C-alpha cells in the first residue's frame, strides 16, 4: 500500500519510483515490526529515541539493514548514536554537528548525516533556522569526519496543503542554495511522513520516513 502511494506520487511528479527511498519507522512498535519490515523486503529502519535505537539495532544489524536516527539527540548520547546509526537525519544544531565531528575524528570513523531545518519555524520543532540555514550548514558540512548528505525537515501537522507545500519547497530551496555555493553537501531531501508523503514526493523528497501507514497506530509512544 505504501509502495503504491509512493509510486503514484512519483509518477504524478514525473519521477521514477526508485528515486524515493522508504525508511520504515519502527518507533513505538515491538521488535516483531522489524522482522515484518525485513520480511517484506525493506532494508531501511528508523528510530527517534536513542534507547530504542540501541535496543532494536543491537539485535538487528548487518549488511542488509540500514539504521536511521530521526529524532533529537542529546549531546551526551551523540557517541552512541554515531556508533549505531548509519544515517543521522536529525543534526539540528552547530553544537551537535561539532560534537559528532569530534567523535568521528577521535574514533577514526565517518559520520553520515542530514542537517535538519525547521522550515515551519514552529517552536516545538528543532532544526536550523531557515534564515541562517545556508550559512550554518555550509560551515558544518566542512567539519572533519562529518559527511552531510542532504537535508531533513518535518512539515507542520495541519490540514492545509499549501502550508505543507511551503515547508517542503522551502527545504528544497535551501538545498538548491547550498548547491550553488558548495559541493560538499549531498543531494538527499528527507521529507514526508504518513500524512504528507504524497506532497513531499511531489516537492522532490528522496527519502520518506513512514511509521503509521506501515505498522498502524503506535501504542503510548
Ligand atoms: C514518528 C516519525 C515519523 C513517522 O511518522 P508517521 O506519521 O507514523 O509516518 C517520521 N519522522 C519523524 C522524525 C518521526 O519522529
What percentage of the chain carries pLDDT values higher than 70? 99
Q: How far apart are the C-alpha atoms of 119 and 131, rounded to whole Å?
A: 9
pLDDT at position 219 over 80: no
Q: How far apart are the C-alpha atoms of 200 and 103, rounded to whole Å?
A: 33
**Which tens digits make up the pLDDT trace of 161-179?**
999 999 999 999 999 999 9
Atom of ligand 1 nearest to the CA of 89: 13
Question: Is residue 61 very low, low, confident or very high in pLDDT (cuts 50, 70, 90)?
Answer: confident
Interval between CA 106 and ligand 1 midpoint (Å): 32
Q: How far apart are the C-alpha atoms of 9 and 94, rounded to whole Å?
A: 34
Q: What is the rounded average pLDDT of the residues 146-170?
A: 97
Interval between CA 71 and ligand 1 midpoint (Å): 9
CA-nearest residue, atom 10 of ligand 1:
209
Q: How far apart are the C-alpha atoms of 153 and 182, rounded to whole Å?
A: 20
Count up the domains in the chain and report the number. 1
Mode of pairing for the β-strands spanning 146-152 and 87-91: unpaired
Residues comprising the chain, all counted:
221
Question: Is residue 131 very low, low, confident or very high in pLDDT (cuts 50, 70, 90)?
Answer: very high
The answer to whether position 192 is within a domain reads: yes
Pocket test for ligand 1, best of 124, 211, 217 (most atoms within 8 A of CB): 211
Cell of 74: 542529546
- If you search the block for the grid coordinates 539495532, which residue do you land on? 57
Pocket test for ligand 1, best of 126, 190, 193, 214 (most atoms within 8 A of CB): 193
The answer to whether position 221 is within a domain reads: no
Atom of ligand 1 nearest to the CA of 215: 8
Question: Is residue 220 very low, low, confident or very high in pLDDT (cuts 50, 70, 90)?
Answer: low
Q: What is the rounded average pLDDT of the residues 136-159?
A: 97
Question: Is residue 1 very low, low, confident or very high in pLDDT (cuts 50, 70, 90)?
Answer: confident
The answer to whether position 220 is within a domain reads: no
CATH number of the structural domain spanning residue 105: 3.20.20.10
At residue 210, the pLDDT reads: 98
pLDDT at position 136 over 70: yes
At residue 62, the pLDDT reads: 84
Rounded to the nearest integer, the mean pLDDT of the chain is: 96
At residue 90, the pLDDT reads: 98
**Which tens digits make up the pLDDT trace of 67-121?**
999 999 999 999 999 999 999 999 999 999 999 999 999 999 999 999 999 999 9
pLDDT at position 221 over 80: no
Q: Which domain holds residue 110?
A: 2-215
DSSP string of 175-192?
HHHHHHH-SSS-SEEE--
Q: Which residues pair with 112 in a beta bridge?
A: 147
First to last CA, the chain: 24
At residue 74, the pLDDT reads: 97
Interval between CA 180 and ligand 1 midpoint (Å): 30
pLDDT at position 127 over 70: yes
Interval between CA 59 and ligand 1 midpoint (Å): 22
Interval between CA 107 and ligand 1 midpoint (Å): 30
The answer to whether position 35 is within a domain reads: yes
Interval between CA 52 and ligand 1 midpoint (Å): 14
Q: Is 137 helix (H, G, I), strand (E, B) or coil?
A: helix
Amino acid at each position: 500500500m505504501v509502495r503504491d502511494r509512493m509510486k503514484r506520487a512519483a509518477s504524478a511528479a514525473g519521477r521514477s519510483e526508485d528515486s524515493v527511498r522508504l525508511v520504515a519507522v519502527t518507533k513505538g512498535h515491538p521488535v516483531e515490526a522489524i522482522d515484518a519490515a525485513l520480511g517484506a523486503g525493506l532494508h531501511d529502519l528508523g528510530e527517534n529515541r536513542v534507547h530504542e535505537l540501541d535496543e532494536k539495532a543491537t539485535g538487528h544489524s548487518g549488511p542488509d539493514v540500514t539504521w536511521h536516527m530521526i529524532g533529537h539527540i542529546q549531546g551526551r548520547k551523540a557517541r552512541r548514536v554515531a556508533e549505531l546509526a548509519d544515517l543521522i537525519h536529525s543534526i539540528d544544531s552547530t553544537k551537535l554537528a561539532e560534537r559528532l565531528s569530534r567523535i568521528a575524528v577521535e574514533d577514526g570513523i565517518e559520520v553520515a548525516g542530514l542537517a535538519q531545518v525547521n522550515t515551519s519555524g514552529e517552536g516545538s520543532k528543532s532544526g536550523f533556522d531557515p534564515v541562517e540555514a545556508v550559512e550554518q550548514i555550509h560551515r558544518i558540512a566542512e567539519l572533519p569526519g562529518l559527511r552531510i548528505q542532504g537535508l531533513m525537515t518535518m512539515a507542520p501537522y495541519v490540514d492545509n496543503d499549501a502550508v505543507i507545500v511551503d515547508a517542503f519547497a522551502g527545504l528544497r530551496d535551501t538545498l538548491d542554495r547550498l548547491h550553488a555555493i558548495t559541493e560538499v553537501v549531498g543531494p538527499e531531501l528527507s521529507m514526508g511522513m504518513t500524512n504528507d508523503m504524497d506532497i513531499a514526493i511531489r516537492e522532490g523528497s528522496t527519502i520518506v520516513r513512514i511509521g503509521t501507514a506501515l505498522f498502524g497506530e503506535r501504542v503510548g509512544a
